[in-house]
Structure 1
Amino acid sequence: MVAELKARALAGDEEAKALLAFLAFLRAKDYAGARSYAEGFPEGEKERLLRGLALLEEDPEALDDPLFAAEKEVLLGVKAVGEGRREAAEAHFQRALELDPEHHRALINLGTLHLERGELEAALEFYQKALRLAPEDPLLHENLAALYKRKGDLDKMVAHLKRATRLKMAPPPSLDPLTGKPRRRFRLPLWAWLLLLALLAYLFLHKP
């Protein structure tokens, strides 16, 4: 599904580009952002996306839409971990990556399973792949800190803990509901500042 969307997007298909942006919200588990973004689609597609989001939160096992397949597998994997079914969880996370190789939360969860088993190099490989895709994920940096603590590399442990703390304290980025990308901060152009200064100078000089 993801490979097909990418091919269509490269060919200039605007709907495919929009669906890829929607997937970015799912990978980040920003369902509120995904819901807002879905509002910009034509009516039929909007209903499909909103229905999928509702099922993700209420009953992911009932989802049969391929667009949501990777996220569904991640959710089922997390559920399996909570129930102590580690092998089933790993299979779900691997399936998620087969469906969407850029699903960084699947990579993080696989890394954590390996970390729990003491397989530090395998865990690091998954975390590094996730880091290339989602360098701003605080949970990833916390996991890397735990890994480097196990490896005895205290400098890297502290660096990742500091990074995780900064990311948690930073305000969440404001996303453009039309593009799914962070909004640019509003900045007045230079001419507007000059006009404002001229107006203030005029008012100051002509005070009664």
Structure 2
Amino acid sequence: MEYDLAIEDGPTTIPGGTGVLLVHPSTGETDRIDTDFLKPDTDHRLVVSTRTTAREVQQKLEHYDVDTETTDILDTLSVERGYSRRSSERVHYVAAPDDTDGIVEQVATFLESHDGKLRVSFDSITELAYYADEERARNAVERILALLEEHDAVGLFHLADEVHDESVVEGYRALFDGVVTLDVDGNVTAEF
């Protein structure tokens, strides 16, 4: 299955099973790239948020005209921040922001329970590593990439490069089929 890719400097389509790494400065404005990835040619999408709450994700999706009726949100933060959690058909939670097994299980459940073209946005690896540690974050990402391949889905994973050691960033670059880099001036380059 082929998926349209509406990311500047990238190919026009990518095959199912493709994982794309978005490398960006920690202050970089990634919302446009993220929502451009989520919008086209999709039946269902899942936003895994380790950085913002479900309410903030919902506002971003609405602002950029992403179809919220076909988008699920996995909020890993509200528990940590003490916010009330109102699970709904489209909003899900895990026990804590370092619950890597719970995150992977929720992604698996989403992919297994939806048909058609499926996209996953993971925002962000950096925040997951902050809560869980680098090794557990990397393991979770590898497991999610395997799930994307198994279900012919595609995913975009955020990584703030200056927060991690260079060897960690290079390790992630090597793990992904495509790497999109956003620099401090807002320029986008893509390697596939």
Q: Which has the larger radius of gyration?
A: 1
Relative to its length, the structure with more strand (as a share) is 2
TM-score past 0.5 threshold: no
Relative to its length, the structure with more helix (as a share) is 1
TM-score range, shorter chain: 0.3 to 0.5
Structure with higher RCO (Cα < 8 A, 6+ apart): 2
